[in-house]
């Protein structure tokens, strides 16, 4: 059994980790910390876990995370970088669901996240945890930077086109829509029901923190810098991301076959039949990414539709997938729940 610790378990990615790991046959929940709610049974905060999780939140200072085999950070940005080194030195593997180790260029990271990086020396070692690109490195990794939700949906949609060199990479467009849980479980007026329900808006158009992460990932695949316009939107649903991607074709190609082949062996990427329109609810609660590729009116603009559950493939599910890879387990273990529809 893998002894698991979770730092910061009172947010949505924390409770989602608990939902997945509580039924993982090879994982044993060892500790879950919360500075504010230490002592409270986890299932009092989240009654959905009654009967499944018996732990109480513990104070981080009183929790021996170094006794774990792996620690997940489900914390705000800037926490994992303070604790990762000590854990790694104690032989604990670390999966950070926040952004601390996602950007290889520390200066870029510091600019977008507005803080100094506490352990820049570890950044180079961190493996970007997108299994569809980095599976082998993840297998060897001590420290995994779990991708952001938007970056997962957008990269999985663009990768086949960029690897094949089919599109003009100077003018990529990612128009992405997220459910409100993407904003986390924090008390902010803008995410109140009465503000976010029955409403739709873009946000962060001048610049969103996921932009450099996506650009880095696409550049790696394309093997050169890319030009990307990224516009996130808030849509009145709880879970789900829908990325609508636009690129200009430089040459003709069988796009359906291209996508089908690229993801043929991927357990969690599902290329839909030609003409499909994936719905976010078709992945609700599950670790799948479903993708459709279109070429409207046979013009030179390709449109890719990519959906994930932001809390699963966009966060906790992908983190468990990474854990499975790191520990040599079947990659889909504990990730085969069928999406909840309706």
Instruction: Please report, for residues 57, 59, 267, the alpha-carbon distance to residue 39 in angstroms, rounded to integers and kept in the order given.
Output: 5, 8, 39
For residue 181, state whether it binds its own copies (rule: CB under 8 A).
yes
Which C-beta is closer to its own copies: that of 296 or that of 328?
Answer: 296
**From 58-66, 100-108, 132-140, 195-203, span contacting its own copies (CB under 8 A):** 195-203
Binding mask 236-255 for its own copies (x = CB under 8 A): xxxxx-x-x-x-x-------
Is residue 56 annotated as part of the catalytic site, yes or no?
no
Which C-beta is closer to its own copies: that of 130 or that of 272?
Answer: 272
Burial of 64 (0-12, 13-18, 19+ CB in 10 A): exposed
Strand pairing category for 143-145 and 70-73: unpaired
Q: Which pair of tokens denotes residue 15? A: 């409770």
Which C-beta is closer to its own copies: that of 26 or that of 137?
Answer: 26
Residue with tokens 């046959």: 25
Binding mask 209-238 for its own copies (x = CB under 8 A): ------------------x-xxx-x-xxxx
Which C-beta is closer to its own copies: that of 275 or that of 328?
Answer: 275
Instruction: Please report, for residues 215, 216, 219, the alpha-carbon distance to residue 222 in angstroms, rounded to integers and kept in the order given.
Output: 10, 10, 5
> For 104, phi and psi rounded to 5 degrees?
-70, -35
For residue 19, state whether it binds its own copies (rule: CB under 8 A).
yes
* Least distance (Å) between residue 341 CB and its own copies: 4
For residue 275, state whether it binds its own copies (rule: CB under 8 A).
yes
Task: List 167's β-bridge partners, or say none.
Answer: 249
**From 87-95, 120-128, 196-204, 258-266, span contacting its own copies (CB under 8 A):** 196-204
* Least distance (Å) between residue 144 CB and its own copies: 24
DSSP state at residue 224: S
8 A C-beta contact, residue 326 and residue 70:
yes
The count of other CB atoms within 10 Å of the CB of residue 251 is: 9
**From 83-91, 109-117, 142-150, 178-186, span contacting its own copies (CB under 8 A):** 178-186
Residue with tokens 């939700």: 149
For residue 9, state whether it binds its own copies (rule: CB under 8 A).
no
Q: Mind telling me the catalytic residues?
A: 149
């Amino acid at each position: 059994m893998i002894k698991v610790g979770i730092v910061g378990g009172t947010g949505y990615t924390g409770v989602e980790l608990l939902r997945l790991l509580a039924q993982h046959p090879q994982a044993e929940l060892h500790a879950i910390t919360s500075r504010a709610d230490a002592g409270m049974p986890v299932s009092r905060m989240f009654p959905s876990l009654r009967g499944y999780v018996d732990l109480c939140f513990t104070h981080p200072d009183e929790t021996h995370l170094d006794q774990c085999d792996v620690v997940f950070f489900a914390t705000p940005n800037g926490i994992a970088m303070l604790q990762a080194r000590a854990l790694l030195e104690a032989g604990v593997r670390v999966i950070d669901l926040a952004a601390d180790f996602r950007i290889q260029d520390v200066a870029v990271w510091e600019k977008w996240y507005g803080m100094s990086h506490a352990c820049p020396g570890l950044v180079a070692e961190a493996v970007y945890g997108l299994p569809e690109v980095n599976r082998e490195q993840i297998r060897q990794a001590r420290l995994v930077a779990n991708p952001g939700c938007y970056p997962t949906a957008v990269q999985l949609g663009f990768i086949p086109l960029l690897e094949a060199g089919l599109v003009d990479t100077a003018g990529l467009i990612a128009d992405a829509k997220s459910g409100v849980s993407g904003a986390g479980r924090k008390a902010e007026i803008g995410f109140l029901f009465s503000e976010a329900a029955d409403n739709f808006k873009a946000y962060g158009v001048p610049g969103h923190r996921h932009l450099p992460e996506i650009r880095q990932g696409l550049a790696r695949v394309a093997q050169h810098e890319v030009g990307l316009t990224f516009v996130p939107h808030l849509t009145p649903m709880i879970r789900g991301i829908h990325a609508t991607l636009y690129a200009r074709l430089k040459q003709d190609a069988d796009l359906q076959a291209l996508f089908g082949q690229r993801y043929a062996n991927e357990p969690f990427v599902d290329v839909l039949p030609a003409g499909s329109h994936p719905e976010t609810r078709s992945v609700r609660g599950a670790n799948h990414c479903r993708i459709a590729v279109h070429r409207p009116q046979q013009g030179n603009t390709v449109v890719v539709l990519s959906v994930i559950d932001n809390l699963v493939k966009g966060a906790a599910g992908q983190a468990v997938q990474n854990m499975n890879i790191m520990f040599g387990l079947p990659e889909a273990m504990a990730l085969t729940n069928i999406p909840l529809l309706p």
